Amino acid sequence: MSKHMINIYLYTRYERLWHWLQAAAIILLLLTGFEIHGSYALFGFEAAVAVHNFVGLAWLIAFAFFVFWIFTTGEWRQYIPTTKKLLSVARYYGYGIFRGQAHPVPKRIDAKHNPLQRLTYLGLAAFLLPFQMVTGFLYWGYNAWASWGVNGLSLGVLAVLHTLGAFCILTFLVIHVYMTTTGHSLSAHVRAMVSGWEAVPEDTPIEAWELAQPKSPTTSET
């Protein structure tokens, strides 16, 4: 990797605010949720339930604003899945990163996520988080199921599904925290999500890697 770095303004204020608010919400929900299941005693059962319910509903509302934001700003394009350079990124994380190789997909304002991140974040935002919110909301509104017309749903099955979703989110959180240490310095990615400025190698090639290659027969992928 080049020793000379340049900074690009990659993350807007809203993105950074949303990132840290969601991180705090998820951590609080995991802590209180596992306490409600009797895994440990931290806040106390009643306090844990109250905090879990409040933060869960606040997270649901904030997520609705996030969805509105990505569609009104066009940021939804950052999550369009692609297989282009997917294997190169997988090889990089598998062994290239431990050999000091350069990342095969440099970050840019119009391409903030590499192919592997796109697939991961799309699955998270479009499936796992909504699944957790829906199961949590149904759990919270159990006493109103009759008036909502919810029939044939078992509270026990719902609880298992909600807990399974929590373990999946916890797994992602652990991996995500580990990945923040894989920049050119241990705190590079964290600083970028605080300031908005991301450091990239000075000799980073600026290419539209997510677009189709030119039709020239002599052109090959870099």
Q: List, in sequence order, every beta strand (DSSP E) within the chain.
A: 5-9, 197-201
DSSP three-state, residue 152: coil
The pLDDT tens digits for 40-80 are 999 999 999 999 999 999 999 999 999 999 999 999 999 99
**CA 148 vs CA 138, 159, 161, 208: distances in Å:** 10, 19, 20, 49
Question: Alpha-carbon torsion 31, 14, 59, 169, what sign?
Answer: negative
User: What's the chain's average pLDDT?
Assistant: 87
Q: For residues 8 and 200, is the Cβ–Cβ distance under 8 A? A: yes
Condensed to tens digits (0 to 9), the pLDDT of residues 35-51 reads 999 999 999 999 999 99
The rounded distance, in Å, linking the Cα atoms of 18 and 82 is 25
Cβ pair 121, 79 in contact under 8 A: yes
Residue 78, pLDDT score: 92
Residue 179 CA to chain centroid, in angstroms? 12
Q: What is the pLDDT of residues 187-216, one digit of tens each?
A: 888 999 999 998 877 766 544 444 444 444
pLDDT at site 159: 95
pLDDT tens-digit map of 120-129: 999 999 999 9
For the entire predicted model, the pTM comes to 0.85
Residue range 163-170: mean pLDDT, rounded = 97
